[in-house]
Structure 1
Amino acid sequence: MHSDPKRLRELPPATALRLLGSVPIGRIVFTAHALPAIRPVNHVLVDGDVVLRCHAGAALLGAIGQVVAYEADDIDPETHAGWSVIVTGKADEVTGADEVAHYERLLRPHVDLTMEHVVRISPEIITGFELTDVTQDAKDLIA
């Protein structure tokens, strides 16, 4: 199925974060062995921070203290309408027992591994784009 071309519209940071928080899966981009690495993970958005969990021995643990990118999207495969959000910021490990317990209650792993580590990304750069129908934009202007 072929869809009509879409208009690319930049989203305000608050809207972009709200959308990122509305989906359970994203991709973290980090450096491993001096090369780019990407891992799909589930996340939760808490007070504007992206929180995820990982297991002991995960390559992602090497990204602690580094600047990483996190991307999530919701784009319809048939119409190609939807959105994509990328946040960039430092990845830190959450170590306080109360905070770890809180995040463990909020975020259940999607894989059958013991997720011993909680990682928090505090966004410094938030970029979001929406792909909309050109005809829908025209209808919105008329309404």
Structure 2
Amino acid sequence: MSTAVRRMIEVSGAEALWLLEGTPGGRLVFIQRKVPVVRPAAHVLEYGRLIVRTPAPIAAFGDSATVTYHADQVSTTTGRGWSVTATGPAAVISDSDEAAHYRRTLMGWSHGPHDTLIRIHPQTVNGYRLGTLAPSSGVSSPGNDRPGSR
């Protein structure tokens, strides 16, 4: 039985975005009919903005929609990894050429009225490395690997 203690170590916003950039998918959280809804999503980070493709109705992203995007990579065996959350206003990508580009480059789950592309302008970004503290050495072992680096 392991006696290692699990730890969360906060990272800078820049490092959190770097982690987010290295993974293709996450979950989008938005409000629909006054209830929080979570949908799987694919994303790309471009010029400090998150472009997200998700199976959600366009109507959910009205004039002043604020959404939260979350991605993580955590080993259930070791407890090591990272977790990043970005929150900010979202706007539907309505330009047909731009939308066609992202539909070609981002994997989607459904097509038709619930295949939505949005641009999130993150106003807050929080990130954590998850690791363990070895009981004998007192040395922290956070999840230092960026997604796809192994």
TM-score range, shorter chain: 0.7 to 0.9
- Cα separation, partners in 2 of 1:137 and 1:50, compared to 1, 3 Å: farther
User: CA 1:128/1:137 → structure 2, altered by over 3 Å: closer, same or farther?
Assistant: farther
Q: Secondary structure at the match of 2:79?
A: coil
- The answer to whether the aligner puts 1:20 opposite 2:20 as a matched pair is yes
Q: Is the 8 A contact 1:54 1:60 kept in 2?
A: no
Describe the SS at the equivalent of 1:123.
coil
Percent of matched pairs sharing the same residue: 34
For 1:41, the equivalent position in structure 2 comes to 41
Deviation at 1:101, TM superposition (A): 3.0
Q: What corresponds to 1:103 in structure 2? A: 102
CA RMSD, 1 decimal: 2.5
Matched with 2:31 is 31
Q: Which moved more, 1:22-31 or 1:121-130?
A: 22-31
**SS of match in other structure, 2:121:** strand
8 A Cα contact 1:51 1:119, kept in partner: yes
Query: Residue 113 of structure 1: CA displacement?
Result: 2.5
Structure with the higher helix share, 1 or 2: 1
Question: How big is each residue's C-alpha offset from its partner over 1:32-90, in whole Å with a ceiling of 9 and x where there is no partner?
Answer: 111111111122222222212245xx346413431111100000011111110000001
The normalised TM-score by structure 2 is 0.77
Which residue number corresponds to residue 63 of structure 1? 61
Letter of the 2:102 partner, please give it. Answer: Y
Show structure 2 runs of 5+ residues with no match: 142-150
Shift of 1:92: 0.3
Question: Which residues of structure 1 form unaligned runs of 5+?
Answer: none
In the alignment, the residues of structure 2 paired with residue 80 and residue 122 of structure 1 have an alpha-carbon distance, to the nearest angstrom, of 30
* TM-score, normalised with respect to structure 1: 0.81
| Residue 120 in structure 1 maps to residue 123 in structure 2 | no
The amino acid that maps onto 1:87 is A
The amino acid of 1:27's aligned partner reads R
Equivalent pairs, count: 137
Cα pair distance change 1:81/1:42, threshold 3 Å: same
